[in-house]
Structures are given as C-alpha cells and as structure tokens.
A and B are shown apart, each in its own frame.
Chain A
Amino acid sequence: MDLKFDNRTPVYLQLIDYFKQVITSEEMALGEELPSRRELASRLKINPNTVQRAFKEMEETGLIVTERNLPSKVTSDKQIIKQLREELINDAVDELIETVQSVNVPLEDLLQLVKQKYQ
C-alpha cells in the first residue's frame, strides 16, 4: 500500500480517493475485507480518528459495509461500483477538458491525440 499524502488536502479525503481507486480498478475485489482501522492508521502513520472518519464516510456512501464486530468489507453491490466508475471517468474527462480548453485545443486534435496515446 503506497500512499503519499499531500499536506494541504484533508487526509480522510485522500484515503477515500485511494479506496475508490483500488476498488474501481479491481485491485480490491467485491466483498473483500479491509484492514482494521488501527492497522491502517499504523501502516500509513496517520491519526486513527482520520481513518475512522474516512470509513464512516465510505459506509455512508455505501462503498464499504461494516457489520457489528466484523471487519469492514468492500460493498458487493455492483451498481455502486458501476456508479463510482462512471463518476471517476467523468471527473477525469472534466479535468482533461478544462486543461485543454484553457490552451484552445480544437476537439478534433484532442480526440486524435487521445486515440493515438490511448494504446
């Protein structure tokens, strides 16, 4: 688990982004158990309260599921993962468009370049 934090962005959000990424990329499988909060805090050298907050948010959005006294697990709901994938792709495309629009790249050129580089 290699995670470098940026000290100007809330750590709990960076942790959520990390999990979104490993879940959508299927590095973590549906229903897979997450490390315990304390283990994560210890491994990443971050505040256990911060990990707790990230878990709480992920539970609220349904990304992870925690049953009483059991380790948290990645959701088994494919719909949630699908939605997350769409969100992630959308955000990435929005960001790309914003960047290239600021330097006035025509759509055709952009598409061509994307096709060329995508392989």
Chain B
Amino acid sequence: MIEVKHIQKKFGRKTVLKDISFHAKEGHITCLIGINGSGKTTILKSIMNLMSVNRGEILIDGHQFTEAMYEKVAYVPDVLTMPLHMKIKDVFQFMRDFYKSWNDQRADELLTFFKLDKNERLKNLSKGNLAKANMLFGLALDVDYILLDEPFSGIDMFSREQIANVFTTDLVEGRGVILTTHEIHDIEYLIDEVVLLNNGFVVNQFNVEQMREEQGKSIVDVMREVLV
C-alpha cells in the first residue's frame, strides 16, 4: 500500500498541497481527480521522491522512500522524457541498463498489445502512439506500483480506448496503479478508488462500487457535489 500522510508542499509563497492524505492499495486502480493546477503531478513526484515535501510523510508498503524503491514503483510522466531520435528498441536497451526490474517479455507483449513497431523512431510516432510507447516503458517494469500522470490527455479516442483496455489485462492486473486525470469518462468502469482533490486538500476518497451501492451516486455525481 502507498500511504500519503498529511503532506504539504509550497512553491515560494504558494501552498499547492495544503494537507493531502490518501492511500492506494496493491491490485487496485486509484484515480486522483482534480481540476488543472490542483497538484496532481506534484503528488506523484512527491511519492517518487523527485520533489521534497514541506510536511508529512509518504510510506510505500510501510517504508519510507529509498533508492531501491525505483525498482518497486514506476512513474510515467505525462510527456515522454526519452530523446526523440531514439528507436523504441533503443529505449528498451536504455531501460534494461537502468532497471533490474525491466521485463523484456512483458515489453514485447505490450508492443503487440499496443500494435507498436520497435524499429520506429520516437519522433516519427503519432501523438497517440507516443503516449502508448510512454506507457509501455513504465508498464514493462516488474514493479508493484505504477504511477501514471494524465495517461489520457490530448490523444484521440481510439488510442484512449486502447490505453484504457490495458488495465483489464494481466499486463497490469495485480499491481497497484495510481493515475491522475481530469476526465473520467473513459475509465469510469475501470477504477476502484477515487481521490478527489480541490484547493490543496483531499475532499473525498471513496470506493466507486461502494459509492454506487450505498448512495446510488456515480463518480460525476460526487464530483459535482464537492467541486462545483
């Protein structure tokens, strides 16, 4: 389980995260929802220790972040960070050199799933395929947790659908996923938990099926209550 406990983060005088607490379980898909600027990316970077927090702590399976966690948790930023002249297979080599947890077999399965060609250069990929490649590099790591920043933003609906479908396969199943989005339409029936962010606070965390069962509300119903 990833536990985020009362974290606070300031940029200069601006407090982006005021008091954020939530948890994400293994085998569950947890979705951070908030409007732009609500600090979703800052939270993911804090979990990965790419950014320090001013207050609070983050525990991964009960432990504080150490270097070894990079083999346990993967972070897929919203924009691919690899040099664009590289071919997909070059990135595979790069990842293999950097991560013990890189799984070649899974990488090949993902290539087939996303219908990508490993001899293609990144700069020649369409935006949708670039997003899929970006996700592939993260999912091919044998990690327990995967953090995905806005995996659906700015790409066409068929690519979105294909990316959403990967969550129903064994390529993801059993691992803990935290993803951020401001648009839940594509993934409404895929996610287990929702964490709603507003103004630097978590305004609600709930299990989606339980919310439907106990209160007869959809995710958007709850969002409307607390965000509008």
Contacts and interface: CB of A to CB of B under 8 A. Distances in A.
Interface residue SS majority, chain A:
helix
A72 B218 CA distance: 30
Nearest to A5: B189
Interface in A93-113: none
A90 interface: no
- Interface size band for A: 10 to 19
B192 A47 contact: yes
A105 to B, nearest CB: 28
B188 interface: yes
B211 to A, nearest CB: 9
A12 B28 CA distance: 16
A14 to B, nearest CB: 9
A45 B216 contact: no
Interface stretch (B5-13, B133-141, B166-174): B166-174
Contacts of A13: 213
Interface of A: 5, 7-13, 38, 41-42, 44-50, 53
Interface of B: 27-29, 161, 164-165, 167-170, 173, 188-192, 209, 212-213, 216-221
